[in-house]
Amino acid sequence: MRALQTERLVKQVKHTYENVVPYRKKMQEKGVEPGDITSIDDLSKLPFVNKDDLRDEYPHGFRAVPLEDCVRIQSTSGTTGRRVVAFYTQADVDLWDECCARAIVAAGGTKEDVVHVSYGYGLFTGGPGLNGGSHKVGSLTLPMSSGNTERQIQFMTDLESTILCCTPSYAAFLAEAIHEAGLIDRIKLKAGIFGAEAWSEEMRRNIEKNLRIKAYDIYGLTETSGPGVSFECEEQTGMHVNEDHFFAEIIDPDTGEALPEGSKGEIVFTSLTKQAFPLLRYRTRDICVLSRKECSCGRTLVKMAKPMGRTDDMLIIRGVNVFPSQIETVLLNQGYPANYLIILDRVNFTDTFEVQVEMTEEMFSDEVKFIEKKESELLAALRSMLGISPAVKLVAPRTIARSEGKAVRVVDKRKI
Ligand code: DLL
């Protein structure tokens, strides 16, 4: 694998240096030339690139091939700033399909399966990525896109979907709607491929129980081409990185220093085979750990743990670092559904911190005394996990808006 990675990296660096002016400038500033990169071990000589660098060159600055060689674009949502447009040649689309096909096969998919794709289609990479992977496997592909839950369930039952692909929060919502409609016994799903947002092990267990499936994680970013950079196998202990196409490193997010295997830090990717939109040492801001421990599935590809959140997801509340994923873990451990909202504001120069949490139906119909007791137990568990106390507000079932794509968990009014 290292020999293949070296061979591909040398070519990728040369291609990028020759065709992408901002990379060439960055390398020149660091005094590095393509000839200095002769092995994968030389990677740390290269400068980093981050999302702001890509945004600054919107839309064409990082494109490495003439426009007439491109067949497709996808784009980031642009909710946190200017969009990034990613370009693809036909070979780029083929390699992306291949990566997503590996994810489907690892989840047990074959040409016999009916792959129900409820990720959004359009500029978002989820729908097109899993769609391409499913075609490559030869499965029957249902290009559902997100939304219209009633129609999703109708197709799922009528066409006997066996593999569901969507965000974990939409999978949880679909499970809820299927149970409400009394249709769980008509669902033929055996697996789900869920990603695009952070989700906890507790959430995995809930989805698996409610949909009666095995739930697999999948990871990727628009910048790297989309889903399929890494995927889970039946061991469900992290995602195998398609490292013949994407080389992964873990770095200290503060110093940029590369960290040894097993350390927690920011994951950085270098594409090895992309043509139209190559990436060298792209800082994802996702925090995770890499492991080369032997996997029972037989794959030897390095594994990345579930991302524990993003460096830019981290909330600083009254000086304390808080990740929304920590709150989700507490809620699910205490038997609440993963429907919650974190509301932050600033009053008299002090942060206010409220967590709204939906009760289960049983809890809601219980006596006020019991609800108050649950509320104070939840507060104690959150205080012990976070080191600070939020105001906990238990709300009625189904009052927090459901998401058809990536869930919105934080309303930070301090920024308004
Ligand atoms: O979310 C691509 C994707 C689509 C991945 C469908 C998986 C399935 P972006 O919208 O550019 O691309 O967002 C990328 O989403 O940096 C992570 O922070 C987060 N993310 C993606 N997959 C996971 C995952 C798509 N499995 C950003 N677990 C990334 C946790 C994830 N976070």
CATH number of residue 365's parent domain = 3.30.300.30
Centroid of ligand 1 to alpha carbon of 56 (angstroms): 22
The stretches in the chain having pLDDT less than 70 are 80, 416
Q: What are the strands of the beta sheet with 410-412, ordered from one edge?
A: 391-395, 350-358, 340-347, 410-412
For 52, 102, 359, 382, 385, the CA distances from 129, given in Å and listed in that order, are 24, 12, 35, 37, 36
Boundary residue ending a domain (260, 293, 312): 312
The CATH number that applies at residue 213 is 3.40.50.12780
Task: Give the CA count within 13 Å in the CB-facing half-sphere of 130.
Answer: 36
268, 404: one domain = no
Q: Which domain holds residue 361?
A: 315-415
Boundary residue ending a domain (312, 338, 359): 312
293, 320: one domain = no
Q: Where are the alpha helices (DSSP H) in 159-218?
A: 168-180, 201-211
277, 322: one domain = no
Number of residues written out for the chain: 416
4, 72: one domain = yes
CA dist., res. 203 & res. 336, Å (int): 10
Mutate to test the pocket of ligand 1, among 85, 145, 197, 329 (most ligand atoms within 8 A of CB): 197
Q: Is 266 close to ligand 1, i.e. is its CB under 6 Å away? A: no
1, 112: one domain = yes
Centroid of ligand 1 to alpha carbon of 77 (angstroms): 12
Q: What's the total number of domains in the chain?
A: 2
pLDDT of residue 80: 66
276, 294: one domain = yes
330, 276: one domain = no
Q: Percent helix, strand, coil in the chain (nearest 5)? A: 35, 25, 40
pLDDT of residue 87: 98
Show Cβ contacts of residue 344 under 8 Å, excluding neighbours closer than 6 positions: 315, 317, 351, 352, 353, 354, 410, 411, 412, 413, 414
pLDDT of residue 68: 98
Centroid of ligand 1 to alpha carbon of 220 (angstroms): 5
Please state the atom number of ligand 1 nearest to the C-alpha of residue 285: 16
Contact 189, 163 (CB under 8 A): yes
Contact 171, 204 (CB under 8 A): no
Boundary residue ending a domain (279, 312, 345): 312
25, 123: one domain = yes
Centroid of ligand 1 to alpha carbon of 298 (angstroms): 25
268, 295: one domain = yes
Please name which of 95, 100, 98, 131 lies closest in space to residue 115, comparing C-alpha atoms. Answer: 131
Q: Is 191 close to ligand 1, i.e. is its CB under 6 Å away? A: no
Mutate to test the pocket of ligand 1, among 51, 55, 167, 219 (most ligand atoms within 8 A of CB): 219
206, 72: one domain = yes
Please state the atom number of ligand 1 nearest to the C-alpha of residue 130: 6
60, 194: one domain = yes
Model pLDDT for residues 24-77, shown as the tens digit of each residue = 999 999 999 999 999 999 999 999 999 999 999 999 999 999 999 999 999 998
Diameter of the chain measured on Cα atoms:
73
pLDDT of residue 416: 66
Centroid of ligand 1 to alpha carbon of 195 (angstroms): 6
CA dist., res. 173 & res. 414, Å (int): 29
116, 204: one domain = yes
Q: Is 104 close to ligand 1, i.e. is its CB under 6 Å away? A: no
Q: Is 309 close to ligand 1, i.e. is its CB under 6 Å away? A: no
